[in-house]
Structures are given as C-alpha cells and as structure tokens.
Amino acid sequence: MTLAPASPVFIQSQMPRMHCQNLITGAWIHRDVQGITSPSITWSLNNPNTFTCILAPPRSDMKDSTGNPVLEEWRDAIYLEENNQILWGGILTSSQINGPQWTITATGFGGYPSGMIYQGPNYTEYNIDALNVVRYIWAWLQSQPNGNLGLRLGSELAGVNVGAYVDNLASSQISRPASAGAESFWVYESSGFTPGMRIQVNGGTSYTIAKVPTGLGGLAVGEIVINTPLTENHSVKEPVLQVQTFTHLSVDANAGAENLAIDDPQGFTTGETILINGNAYNIVIIATNTAGIPTHITVQPGLAGFAAKGTTVTEAPVPFQLLWWNSTDCGQEIQAIQQEAVFDWYETHTWTDTAKTDVAHTMNFGVPRLGVRRTELRFAEGENITQPVQVTRNGAQFADKVIGLGTGSGSAEIASTVSQLSGRIARSYVYNDQTVTTQARMSAKANKVLASMQNINSPVTVVIKNHPNAPFGSFGCGDDIPVTMCTGWLNTMIWCRITSIQQDPTTNIMTLTVARSDSFSYIAETGQAGTI
C-alpha cells in the first residue's frame, strides 16, 4: 500500500506566498502577489484540487502594458508557498471581474484531462495494467502542442489489468449434487456449453467438456459430460463457468510463421482472435487430420517473433481500446479506469532547487488506496470540532438483508443472500454486480454491502480548528479518522474517511468532507473501487 504524506495544509494562519508562472514559456510572471482576500483552498481525494481568491483593488504589478490583467486562463500556473514549500499548485482556469474585484479560480493539474478529446493513434491493448493505460493517456496529452505540463507520473502498478475480460463466457450452476469420481454432472442450463470447452466448477479444477447431451428437438437436457472424472464433491448452486480457452505450441515456430502446430486446437474457432506472447492473431483455418480431429491452426498476420515449443496460445479477451473516432474524453476515461481498477492519486509540486527557479510536478498513486487509520488522533465535538457535525440519517439506505446477484440469468444466475437482524423492521436490498462469477465472491461482496447499510448515521462535514488532538498537517485526504459526536442528539463515534479538505489559510479553521469508512471497498479483483 502506498500512503499519501500528511496533508500539505497551511499552518501559519496567514496568506501564503503566491507565485505565478507562464506554463508555455516557463517565465515567472509574479513571485509574491499582494492584495489577496477571501482565499479558499481545497484538496480532494481523486479529484482536482482547487483554489479561489479575490484580488482587489487593481494593482499596477498585476496589469500588463495595456492595462489588462497580467494572468491568462489556461496559460498560467499558480503556486502557494509556506516555509519554502509549495503546498498547492494548479492552473488558472477561470475568473470573474466585477468592477475593482477580480475573482480567480485555479484547478490542480489533475483536472487537465477533463474535456480533452483523444485524437491519437488507435490504441489496442490486451491484459495491460490499468495504471499503464493512465500513463499512456497522460503521455499522449503532454505530447500535443502546448500540452506539456511537465507532469511526471509515478511508476506504481495497479495490479489489475484492463483488456483482460473474456466476453460471453458460458455459465450456470450445479442443479443436482455431484460426487467425486463422476464423469458427468447436471446444471440448470447447459445450452451455452459445447464439446471441447474448458470449464471450472466452483473456481476449482478445470475440465474439458466431452459431450453435451440433447433431447427432443436437439435441446440440451442439462447434463455435461467431461473428459476426466470430478476430483471433489459439489453441491447444488455451485457455479460452473467457462474458462478462457488456452493451449500450447507443440513445435517451435519462427518469426513470420502462419501455420502453427498446437497441443489442443479444440475450443478455438475460425475467425477468433488469439494471443501468443502478447501479440494478437486471427485464426483463418483450423486444419484437421483424416479422423476430423483438429491438429493445426493458420493465423494472420505471421508471428511477430520466434515462439518456442510450449509457448501459451490463448483466446484473446476483449481488448482495451482508445479509438480516435469515438471522441473519448480523456478525463472521463481515466475516471472509468479507476472504477475498474483500485487506486488513488494525488499531485505534488516541488521546487527543483534552492533558488526556486522552476517547479517539478508529480502525480503519485496509492494502490489499492491512499491514507491510513489515524488511531493516534482525536476529533471530538466541544474539543477540536468547532461546529456540530452535520449528519444524515437516510432510512432509504438501511437494509438488514442483501440479495447479491452476479453473472448469469434466471436459475443460473450467481446469487447470495446475507442478513443480520438489527432490531429494526426488516428491509432488503438487491445488489447487482455482473463482474462476480462465483458464489464465494458474491457472498463476500454482499457482506461488505450489508455492513455499509447497517449504520445510517452518516457524517458529511466536520469543521475543526488546529488543536493538539489533531494538529494541522497530521492527517490528509484518504485517511480514516474517528469522529466523536456528543453535544447534540448523537452520542457516538464513527470512523470516517476524509474525501476533501477545505481551508482558508488565513484562519486556523478547516472543513473536512467525510464518508463512513465502511462505505469504501478496496477489493481489486471485484473491479469495485471507492464507495459502494
């Protein structure tokens, strides 16, 4: 787990030094802007940071030779410095002029991809780490004319690949108990299975289907015959899932080769895309011997390089693609990737030298999350919490029974029901997640959802002052903190995760936006990140 450093909040209760730089030329426009009022700075978890303030009245050092503002939107960067450290950095994105008042808004570099349309070369990748795709998108953005922010991205890997999902895998569930040693078993729906297909029962041993018996009208009757006996007992409703078809080269193949000998061509089909050493090829011919048994496949294009005997040949998943004609919003795509994988991000800006001649910009990643559980800190009403904690009690979000539904349909659908008596009137909730292919995983997910719906006391905002219980700088976005409420209707402590921090640096007050810690999931293999 990568942890974010303590939040770069301001401690001195005064306006920090404000620097302005032309991002296109690198030239410094101003090194100490004066006349700032109503400053407001927000650091956010996985969202761009923001800064707003008012400049008034007009000052000659903030005007150009024509008498107009010296700063330009989408050209200039703003940095806020305290004790020789840049604690906030971003791009001037908008402003409003009302007579002598000039209100400016700046957005962190992480907001730059939003609204930027991908127009690069068609990008197709199989089984690629999600963060490598994020780095690709940023690299393309910064390769465009006037698009180079100088932002460097961390080298962390998400550990979750995109372009790895095999579409339309057959699935069902055991319909009758099956004993170890059996050469066939029964499922609720067998029509999606075919001879030669590889399957797994309850996520365990893999089997190859030998036959799918049919009855009147050629309809599948629900029985599946396998090439090798079952290795263990199986119960009703255990999932049966097709696994990605794979085999191995049975003979060395040179670069450019199109006719390939493989151990077991069964399960592959003409026109299918396969992967060999990470490269994609289309099957154009499946050759058979005199007995009609597949022996070779012919692919196009020819092999990109030498492949030794034993090299894996596998069915290609649905690739991750960026296609210029789809007008993909780069910012929205990065957000979608983050929901498919599990990681957090934050940006930092640092001086490149003691003379402060330039600034280095970095986007850092935390896998599967940023932040820690701050057991050493205390946040309590009447102590360092200066205003009553805003709490919502949404009964619509309460449930003591969760019905989890995964992949499949009808009687073959992956399903798990979990419940916990709460002393309240019974309420149920249906949770759908088509990425779940086993009952074990669905049970884990359903229990997680149930835990998050048992407690309806949901703190929203916490206003605090700088205090020894939790000094400014000792916590940051992503951290879990204990919020104690004891001065009003509630007398309880709830663990909450900080999702944003808003501060007026001229005061010793800040506002935390929080969400219940138990409303977050960090289970990478589920494809569910963030709040449930």
Condensed to tens digits (0 to 9), the pLDDT of residues 101-143 reads 999 999 999 999 999 999 999 999 888 899 999 999 999 999 9
Average pLDDT over residues 68-76: 96
Percentage of the chain surpassing pLDDT 90? Answer: 52
Contacts 24+ apart (CB under 8 A), 526-529: 526/433, 526/435, 526/436, 526/441, 526/445, 527/160, 527/339, 527/340, 527/341, 527/435, 528/339, 528/342, 528/433, 528/435, 528/445, 529/338, 529/339, 529/340, 529/341, 529/342, 529/343, 529/368
Q: Which CATH architecture has domain 246-316?
A: Beta Barrel (2.40)
What's the distance, Cα to Cα, between the start and end of the chain in Å? 20
Model confidence pLDDT, tens digit, residues 261-288: 888 776 678 888 888 888 889 888 888 7
- Residue 526: its pLDDT value, please? 38
Distance CA 471, CA 278 (A): 51
β-strands 128-129, 161-162: how paired?
A: antiparallel
Q: How many CB atoms lie within 10 A of CB 114?
A: 14
- Residue 442: its pLDDT value, please? 77
Q: How many CB atoms lie within 10 A of CB 32?
A: 10
- Residue 3: its pLDDT value, please? 54
Report helix, strand or coil for 313.
strand
Model confidence pLDDT, tens digit, residues 192-228: 888 878 888 887 888 889 999 998 888 888 999 999 9
CA 82 to chain centre: 33
Token pair recorded at residue 177:
């108990």
Q: Name 431's bridge partners.
A: 404
Average pLDDT over residues 225-245: 87
Confidence at 531, pLDDT banded by 50, 70, 90: very low
Average pLDDT over residues 330-334: 95
Model confidence pLDDT, tens digit, residues 354-372: 999 999 999 999 998 899 9
Distance CA 80, CA 155 (A): 27
- Residue 441: its pLDDT value, please? 67
Cα dihedral across residues 320, 322, 326, 327: positive or negative = positive
- Residue 469: its pLDDT value, please? 96
Model confidence pLDDT, tens digit, residues 24-61: 999 999 999 999 999 999 999 999 999 999 999 999 99
- Residue 528: its pLDDT value, please? 35
- Residue 525: its pLDDT value, please? 41
CB contact at 8 A, 260 and 297: yes
Confidence at 166, pLDDT banded by 50, 70, 90: low
Distance CA 501, CA 450 (A): 29
- Residue 339: its pLDDT value, please? 74
Sequence letter at residue 84:
N
E strand segments, 318-400: 320-322, 344-351, 359-366, 379-380, 390-393
Q: For the chain, which residues make up each domain, given as ranges?
A: 171-242, 246-316, 396-455
Distance CA 297, CA 107 (A): 54
Distance CA 500, CA 108 (A): 14
Q: Which region among 217-231, 402-416, 500-514 has the lowest average model confidence (pLDDT)?
A: 402-416
Mean pLDDT of the chain: 88
Distance CA 192, CA 510 (A): 58
Q: How many CB atoms lie within 10 A of CB 365?
A: 19
Q: If you count them, how many residues does the chain have?
A: 532
- Residue 523: its pLDDT value, please? 60
Pick left, alpha or beta for residue 79 (phi over 0 → left; psi -120 to 50 → alpha; otherwise beta).
Answer: beta
pTM of this structure: 0.78
Average pLDDT over residues 217-246: 87
Average pLDDT over residues 238-252: 83
- Higher pLDDT: 325 or 420? It is 325
Q: Name 18's bridge partners.
A: 80
CB contact at 8 A, 281 and 273: yes
Model confidence pLDDT, tens digit, residues 382-393: 999 999 998 887
Sequence letter at residue 244:
Q
DSSP state of 235: -
* Gyration radius of the chain over CA positions: 29
Sheet holding 273-276, edge to edge: 246-248, 312-315, 273-276, 279-288, 294-300, 259-261
Model confidence pLDDT, tens digit, residues 83-92: 999 999 999 9
Residue 4 has pLDDT above 70, yes or no: no
DSSP state of 373: B
Token pair recorded at residue 44:
């956010």
Distance CA 436, CA 274 (A): 24
- Residue 532: its pLDDT value, please? 42
The 3 state secondary structure assigned to 138-174 is HHHHHHCCCCCCCEEECCCCCCCEECCCCCCCCEEEE
Percentage of the chain surpassing pLDDT 70? Answer: 94
- Residue 530: its pLDDT value, please? 45
- Residue 202: its pLDDT value, please? 83
Token pair recorded at residue 512:
């935390």
Q: Which CATH architecture has domain 171-242?
A: Beta Barrel (2.40)
- Higher pLDDT: 167 or 378? It is 378
Token pair recorded at residue 326:
């789809």
Domains 171-242 and 246-316 share a fold: yes
> How does DSSP assign 237-288, residue by residue?
T-EEEE---EEEBSS-B-TT--EEEBS--TT--TT-EEEETTEEEEEEEEEE
Confidence at 310, pLDDT banded by 50, 70, 90: confident
How far apart, in Å, are the Cα atoms of 170 and each of 173, 215, 226, 241, 475? 11, 20, 15, 6, 48
